[in-house]
Amino acid sequence: MFNKLQQKWKVGGIQLFLILCTFAVTGSLTAFISERITNWVGFDENTLFAWKILLRLSILIFGYQFIILAVSFVFGQFRFFWNYEKKILTKMGFMKRKAPKTEPFKLAIFASGKGSNAEKIIQYFDNEKLVKISMIVCNNPQAGVLDIAKQHNIKTLVIDKKTFTQTEEYVQLLKNEGITHIILAGFLWKVPETMINGYRNKILNIHPALLPNFGGKGMYGHFVHEAVVKAGERESGITIHFVNEHYDEGGIIFQSSFPILPTDSAEDVAKKGQILEHRDFPKVIASLLLPASS
Ligand code: GRF
């Protein structure tokens, strides 16, 4: 059940726990406040039952919405619950529905290797009018991902380290191309601050382990799986997260996991992880950009 909720809300285990705490505390607090208000108003056993019900219901229906936001703030979950409230207020007719988007999101996929994730994403959005894979950015002229780009007629950009790390040239170039989001799918260079500032909360990365464990500098590719097996972990998985200034520390959007058998090698773990990456990465991108489709 918890796994289902995690998938539905696209949150990790800790965030799910904080969300459930918010619901639990809000429920008790609303009941408490509602009783206090009823007493304060002076309702007693002689008051008409209908009045009592009306007051209680108003507190439950309207008060609850404010209380949950206040409580969510305490648990650090305001953003999640504000989105949740927006949906409710829209359904109740208090907020206007957003005008449907007609301009597509334009994605640049950054990759350094063979590009199997890039390919899955390209295939997934092939017929999607609102999401266009506009560019493949790569730091290695020999990388297989460039062939994939060619097969799909997607523009490529091979970058050099000095320009990438020391100038804003590539940020400007992406902006000029109308790129709205950056997807890191096996991209091995650290994204410089100028690019993170230019695309704040618009850069996603996939990491082949369950962050915050087995992340950080030097933890990429086979190093991750070797460390996981060496540590005797019984499970591993994948993490999709926003990218900030620190390696693998941006907000977690989604995680999924698989069991590790005692006989599994690092290669076995890598294979199991990649199945999840291919299955989940495109869907998570879609659910962020096209909320209605989730
Ligand atoms: C993936 O396992 C990804 O998690 C990691 O690099 C790998 C890229 O594989 N960051 P591919 O190039 O998409 O096949």
292: pLDDT confidence band, cut at 50, 70 and 90? Answer: low
For residue 259, is the peptide bond before it cis, meaning its omega torsion is within 30 degrees of 0? no
Neighbours of 56 (CB within 10 A): 18
What digits encode the pLDDT tens for the residues 203-216? 999 999 999 999 99
- C-beta of 38 in contact with ligand 1 (< 6 A): no
**H or E stretch including 140?**
none
The CATH-assigned architecture of domain 105-293 is 3-Layer(aba) Sandwich (3.40)
- C-beta of 116 in contact with ligand 1 (< 6 A): yes
Give CA–CA dist 107/183, Å, rounded: 7
Nearest atom in ligand 1 to 112's CA: 12
Long-range CB pairs of 34-43, under 8 A, 24+ apart, other chains included:
34/59, 34/60, 34/63
Structure confidence at residue 161 (pLDDT):
97
Give CA–CA dist 24/230, Å, rounded: 39
Residue type, 132: K
Residues 6 or more apart in contact with residue 210 via CB below 8 angstroms: 235, 236, 237, 238, 239, 255, 257
Structure confidence at residue 236 (pLDDT):
97
- C-beta of 248 in contact with ligand 1 (< 6 A): no
Residue type, 247: Y
Q: Are 73 and 21 in contact (CB under 8 A)?
A: no
Residues 6 or more apart in contact with residue 208 via CB below 8 angstroms: 221, 224, 225, 236, 238, 270, 273, 274, 277
* Mean predicted confidence (pLDDT) in 102-110: 95
Residues 6 or more apart in contact with residue 278 via CB below 8 angstroms: 116, 117, 120
Please check the confidence at residue 294 and state whether its pLDDT lies above 60.
no
Share of the chain above pLDDT 70, in %: 98
Share of the chain above pLDDT 90, in %: 69
Q: Residue 115 C-alpha to ligand 1 middle, in angstroms?
A: 7
* Mean predicted confidence (pLDDT) in 287-294: 72
Crossing angle between the packed helical segments 144-151 and 116-124, to the nearest 10 degrees = 20
Give CA–CA dist 195/170, Å, rounded: 8
Q: Is 207 a catalytic residue?
A: yes
CA distances from 166 to 39, 169, 189, 238 (A): 66, 9, 13, 31
- Catalytic residue, chosen from 152, 181, 207, 241, is 207
At 130, give phi and psi (nearest 5°).
Answer: -90, -5
What digits encode the pLDDT tens for the residues 111-138? 999 999 999 999 999 999 999 999 999 9
Q: Residue 116 C-alpha to ligand 1 middle, in angstroms?
A: 7
Nearest atom in ligand 1 to 277's CA: 4
Q: Mean pLDDT for the chain?
A: 91
**What global pTM score does this model have?**
0.70
Structure confidence at residue 293 (pLDDT):
44
What digits encode the pLDDT tens for the residues 25-56? 998 998 888 888 877 877 777 777 777 778 77
- C-beta of 140 in contact with ligand 1 (< 6 A): no
What digits encode the pLDDT tens for the residues 218-268? 999 999 999 999 999 999 999 999 999 998 999 999 999 999 999 999 999
Please state the domain extents for the chain. Answer: 2-91, 105-293
Give CA–CA dist 266/221, Å, rounded: 10
